[in-house]
């Protein structure tokens, strides 16, 4: 089957080779209703570690460089126009079009966020989807599932501006394992790195 696979149907071949996960969530830790299942998964993915540390926004501009419209434009250009929207339901194309008409709005919002070292609560709301891991023997336990989190597209823009500045002003502070939002890096690079470590561990007879 693999020998006759061409690039256009490669992913179809991969999907056929993998075992199919369940199409609906099974009873999880005894929970049967949607609300109870969500609560069980929430407690597993987000255990209660106590209240978060208090944060006070900063009004100091010492050493801070005002965000420019060009910085925001480069950040927007680095994000796919049809990037999946988060909880705010606003796609990246919305901000791209807004910046063309009123570049000051998004620039001022990004400037305030970086200057005050603060993210508005609305940007911390994450749209999360829970999907079953394929090939698991028991789907009644929370660890048989993983979550995919989608951030608000405005937050992605702010992150791109912040990362671009870190790359210029503090290039050595970025981990070599930081792949997201970095020029010249892609998810494929992360996959290749993982495969390389897996193959090395296998050759060294290391198992986990």
Range of the domain at 137: 19-44+61-173
| Residues 134 and 78 grouped into a single domain | yes
User: What pLDDT is attached to residue 183?
Assistant: 66
In a domain, 89, yes or no: yes
Average pLDDT over residues 73-94: 86
- Name which of 206, 55, 82 is nearest 153 in CA terms: 82
Own/partner pairs, 11-18, CB within 8 angstroms, 24+ separation = 18/134, 18/135
| Residues 161 and 180 grouped into a single domain | no
In a domain, 142, yes or no: yes
| Residues 75 and 163 grouped into a single domain | yes
Which residues, listed in sequence order, are joined to residue 31 by a DSSP beta bridge? 28
Average pLDDT over residues 25-30: 80
In 3-state terms, what secondary structure has residue 173?
A: helix
| Residues 117 and 207 grouped into a single domain | no
Task: Look at the chain and report how many structural domains it folds into.
Answer: 2
User: What pLDDT is attached to residue 3?
Assistant: 54
| Residues 130 and 162 grouped into a single domain | yes
pLDDT digits (tens, 9 = 90+) for 108-141: 999 999 988 888 888 888 888 888 888 888 888 8
| Residues 140 and 187 grouped into a single domain | no
Share of the chain above pLDDT 90, in %: 17
Q: Are 161 and 67 in contact (CB under 8 A)?
A: yes
| Residues 180 and 87 grouped into a single domain | no
pLDDT digits (tens, 9 = 90+) for 157-193: 999 899 888 877 666 666 767 666 566 676 677 777 7
């Amino acid at each position: 089957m693999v020998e006759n696979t061409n690039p256009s149907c490669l992913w179809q071949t991969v999907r056929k080779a993998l075992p199919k996960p369940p199409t609906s969530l099974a009873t999880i830790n005894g929970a049967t209703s949607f609300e109870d299942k969500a609560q069980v998964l929430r407690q597993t993915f987000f255990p209660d570690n106590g209240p978060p540390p208090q944060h006070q926004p900063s009004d100091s501009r010492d050493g801070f460089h005002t965000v420019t419209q060009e910085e925001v434009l480069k950040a927007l250009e680095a994000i796919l126009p049809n990037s999946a929207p988060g909880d705010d339901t606003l796609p990246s194309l919305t901000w791209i079009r807004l910046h063309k008409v009123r570049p000051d709005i998004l620039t001022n919002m990004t400037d305030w966020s970086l200057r005050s070292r603060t993210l508005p609560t609305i940007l911390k709301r994450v749209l999360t989807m829970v999907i079953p891991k394929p090939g698991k023997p028991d789907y009644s336990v929370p660890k048989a599932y993983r979550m995919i989190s989608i951030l608000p597209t405005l937050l992605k823009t702010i992150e791109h501006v912040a990362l671009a500045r870190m790359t210029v002003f503090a290039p050595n502070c970025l981990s070599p394992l930081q792949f997201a939002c970095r020029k010249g890096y892609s998810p494929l690079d992360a996959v290749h790195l993982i495969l390389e470590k897996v193959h090395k561990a296998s050759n060294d007879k290391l198992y986990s």
